[in-house]
Structure formats: C-alpha cells, structure tokens
Homo-oligomer: A and B are copies of this chain.
Amino acid sequence: MSAVVIGPDDFDAAAQCAALEAMGGGAVATFTGIVRGDNGLIALQLDHYPAMTKAQVERIVAQAQARWPLLGVRVIHRVGRLEPGARIVFVGTASRHRTAALESCAFLIDWLKSHAPFWKQEHFADGSTRWVEARVEDDARAAAWNDQATSGN
C-alpha cells in the first residue's frame, strides 16, 4: 500500500486505520476532512496539478518522517467532484509515541493545506461557483511548524 494516494476514488478509512494499527506502534492518529454542505453548496470541485501533486505530497510526508519517529504514514487526497458528506482528505500516522503520532498528523494536514497544489471550487444550488480563497491562518499554522523547528521546540 502506497503511503500517498491522489485520485478521484473514495477510500476505506477503516482499512487505512487497520493498516496503521498493525504497524506495531502504540499510537495511531488520523484526520479526515469532509465536504460541508453550507450555504447551499451542492459540490466541491477539486482541481490539482497532476504532474506535481504526488511528488509534492511525498515530499511533505518525507519531512514528517524526518521530524518524528513514525512507523507509518498514509495520505489520501481526492480530486474531482465531491458532494457534501464526502471525504476529501485522510491523514494517518503510526508511531510508538503518542505525541509523535498526534503532532505529525497535525503537521501533515497543515502542510497539505498550504503546500500541496490543490484548489477547491464551490458549486451552489443556484448554479453559481466560487473558488475557495486561501486563508491567512492556514499559512500561519504551516509557518508555525517552521518556527518550532528553528527554536528547537
């Protein structure tokens, strides 16, 4: 099972968790992102840069592996049209250490938000569409991981 999957298909989160739990660590942390049906949203369309996406996500995974003692990492990011309730992204980490699993999971989702070439377009019931704008907080959260590394925390 590859550590990184980018594609249109839904995934079996339970199978992902089972694989991470079987890695012999004591700790598995996961994050799952789901399409919210707010304000009449009927679908998200996820665009990406195919030639770059997988390599870039694998680079982010390698950074997490260099920083925390991880036994396993799974990142799944879907693309294409996704309706409310659909999973968009899954990040799972396994480690011997609770803090390593929790922190690396948070790091990975923060970095995916700000460093992976995906773009979300909202489609509404009235036929209108809107490209989601990047949030300053997302960049700030990702940058905070760098500050931590620099200050040795």
Tell which of B17, B27, B99 touches A14, judged by Cβ atoms closer than 8 Å. B17
| Nearest CB of chain B from residue A145's CB, rounded to whole Å | 13
CB distance A102 to B31 under 8 Å?
yes
| Nearest CB of chain B from residue A95's CB, rounded to whole Å | 11
Separation of A95 and B33 alpha carbons in the complex (Å): 10
User: When A29-B30, A34-B25, A36-B26 are in contact, do A109 and B105 touch as well, CB less than 8 Å?
Assistant: no
CB distance A34 to B30 under 8 Å?
no
Which residues in chain A, 92-124, are within 8 Å of chain B measured between CB atoms? 96, 98-99, 101-102, 105-106, 109, 113
Q: A101 contacts which chain B residues (CB < 8 A)?
A: 31
Which residues in chain A, 34-71, are within 8 Å of chain B measured between CB atoms? 34-37
> Which 9 A-B pairs give the minimum distances between C-beta atoms?
A14-B14, A26-B36, A28-B32, A30-B30, A102-B106, A29-B31, A26-B34, A21-B34, A13-B17
